[in-house]
Amino acid sequence: MSDSLLIVLAQLNPTVGDIAGNCALIRAARGEAAQAGADLIVFSELFITGYPPEDLILKPSFQAAAEAAVQELAEETADGGPAILVGTPWREDGKLYNAALLLNNGSVAARRYKFALPNYGVFDEVRVFAQGPLPGPIAFRSIRLGVMICEDMWDDEVSECLEESGADVLLVINGSPFERDKTDVRLNSAVARVTETGLPLIYLNQVGGQDELVFDGTSFVLGADRTLRAQAAMFGEETLHTRWSTDENGAWQCEASPPSPQPEGLEAIYHAMVLGLRDYVGKNGFPGVLIGMSGGIDSALSAAVATDALGPEKVRCVRMPSRYTAQASLDDGAECADLLGLKSDTIGIEPAVAAFETMTAEVFEGREADATEENIQARVRGVILMAMSNKLGHMVLTTGNKSEMSVGYATLYGDMCGGYSVLKDVYKTVVFALAQWRNQNWASSFMGPEGRVIPEVIITKPPSAELRPDQLDQDSLPPYDVLDDILECLIEKELPVAEIVKRGHDEATAARIWRMLDLAEYKRRQAPPGVKLTGRALGKDRRYPITNRFHAASSRA
């Protein structure tokens, strides 16, 4: 007779710092698992505290609160219900570990500590956690679980140690953020561990937004033959029931079930933007968002994402025309708001701009108009948005994209005013593609209307800041397809100018963009957070000095 187990994978959305709330999620999910007859329910990395807790984890009172919560949960497992495998910080011998604990029969039955601590990109666990030893398997009923924590799966030394010490199944709990094209990379790493060890693998990831990070879930199970046996939803909470039994040779195998559909490409990026904004607004208690609706592509796409994330009743737009604003832009912005079902206000900025011209006339006398006057317009708009935010309570959603933020095509204390940006890690060419995608697609998780939500003219007209007569973005910047390819080379790939030129780009243009990228670092340090979508988001992923004299001319390799 074969052994059998029902293991439930709880792909849920914890909140950093909400230990009581996270434990409530555990109790609710465990109760449902108990009704299904589950033997074990598994939760993701640092689920007790939420992930990533960053330096919050260094507070002794926070560590103590997490440990007390774990002890309460452990005592509750004396009821004969499912055991719990959960991620939490844990102290031992004066050291703090990123731990996976098995709670069973009323106590903490086993502990395993993370061995491979990531120290790159958005991760800096080396500065807050001690490295655990190479783990051995955890004996649970008739199975030996080879428990790994996130980065441990990317280190073949950990899985090799578990296989050699008798593990039957590899079980990985994760806090793995979404990145463009990361799903296949993640799956390939899991396949490599299965191939090396000959063991099936359970991969559980959390879902939800935490500041700039979005966790996509996409939990899965691989058989020892590397086939996909089960897969949870992407960007959605789910408790995935996996049924395990031993074959005639005593090897554990998972019963196959249909995998959930997995968004790819533009669809995945758009879903990540929606989820990131929804959780940032919801978890921080904002009643809604406020958007300056210019009639351009960036504000239109931002408004569409916000509406899909929050619903039209929580999104408010304001048009702020100047003497340079075309009537067509006002009409386009109004049409977009109407298509999305949004309330829209109009506040002209000319009285405030005229007041600034009068106030500064003596100081500026004899000097030609330049970017100063353009920036005054942007800053007046910023003041209006922040005043409305103060009065109404809505968070201002900035609309700048990665292309503009990379080269400093934005005004400090002007269009950079705000609390969050959904386009911060989206290049301009992708902004256009996402707008077209949203006009043609809709999902049941979206709270905005089906069908076309962005007027076609907004997508097709040449972009302009409309801060001076007949202004176009390409007066100051290369065409966006050229700019974005150069920026991807500089940011994502760290290529020198010589290599960029080999891709067909003009050397002077590539060197100029490099210089603009460097010079704008001081602006980016003051920019609001935004959804991370690529491998090198501007911010924690890319930490460059503001004072920096190394430039393109210094690098000819």
Pairing mode, if any, of strands 395-398 and 420-421?
A: parallel
- Mean pLDDT, rounded, for 160-188: 93
Q: Is 105 exposed, middle or buried (0-12, 13-18, 19+ CB in 10 A)?
A: exposed
Question: Annotated catalytic, 45?
Answer: yes
Given a cut of 60, whether residue 2 has pLDDT beyond it is no
Q: Tell me the DSSP string of 19-83.
A: HHHHHHHHHHHHHHHHHTT-SEEE--TTTTT-S--GGGGG-HHHHHHHHHHHHHHHHHGGGSS-E
| pLDDT tens per residue, range 303-345 | 999 999 999 999 999 999 998 888 888 899 999 999 999 999 9
Residues in a beta bridge with 395: 289
| pLDDT tens per residue, range 115-129 | 999 888 788 899 999
What letter would DSSP give residue 177?
B
Q: What is the rounded CA–CA span in Å between residue 427 and residue 303?
A: 17
Both tokens of 261, joined, read: 């559909």
Residue 1 has a pLDDT of 37
| pLDDT tens per residue, range 446-466 | 999 999 999 999 999 877 665
Given a cut of 60, whether residue 557 has pLDDT beyond it is no
Question: Annotated catalytic, 248?
Answer: no
Question: Annotated catalytic, 489?
Answer: no
What Å distances lie between residue 298 and 377, 433, 434, 464, CA to CA?
A: 18, 12, 10, 11
Neighbours of 308 (CB within 10 A): 27
Given a cut of 80, whether residue 470 has pLDDT beyond it is no
Both tokens of 442, joined, read: 């809709």
Residue 517 has a pLDDT of 92
Residue 542 has a pLDDT of 85
Side-chain-side CA neighbours of residue 527 (13 Å):
32
Of these residues, 23, 125, 150, 179, which one is catalytic? Answer: 150
Q: According to the 3-state scheme, what is the secondary structure of 281-319?
A: HHHCCCCCEEEECCCCHHHHHHHHHHHHHHCHHHEEEEE
Q: Select from 271, 148, 158 the least CA-distant residue to 205.
A: 148
Of these residues, 23, 114, 125, 488, which one is catalytic? Answer: 114
What domains sit in the chain, N to C, each tagged with a CATH number?
4-255 (3.60.110.10), 266-554 (3.40.50.620)
Residue 554 has a pLDDT of 59
Query: 544 falls in which pLDDT band (50, 70, 90)?
Result: confident
Given a cut of 70, whether residue 211 has pLDDT beyond it is yes
Q: What is the rounded CA–CA span in Å between residue 339 and residue 456?
A: 12
Helices (H), 59-218: 60-76, 156-164, 182-197
Query: 467 falls in which pLDDT band (50, 70, 90)?
Result: low
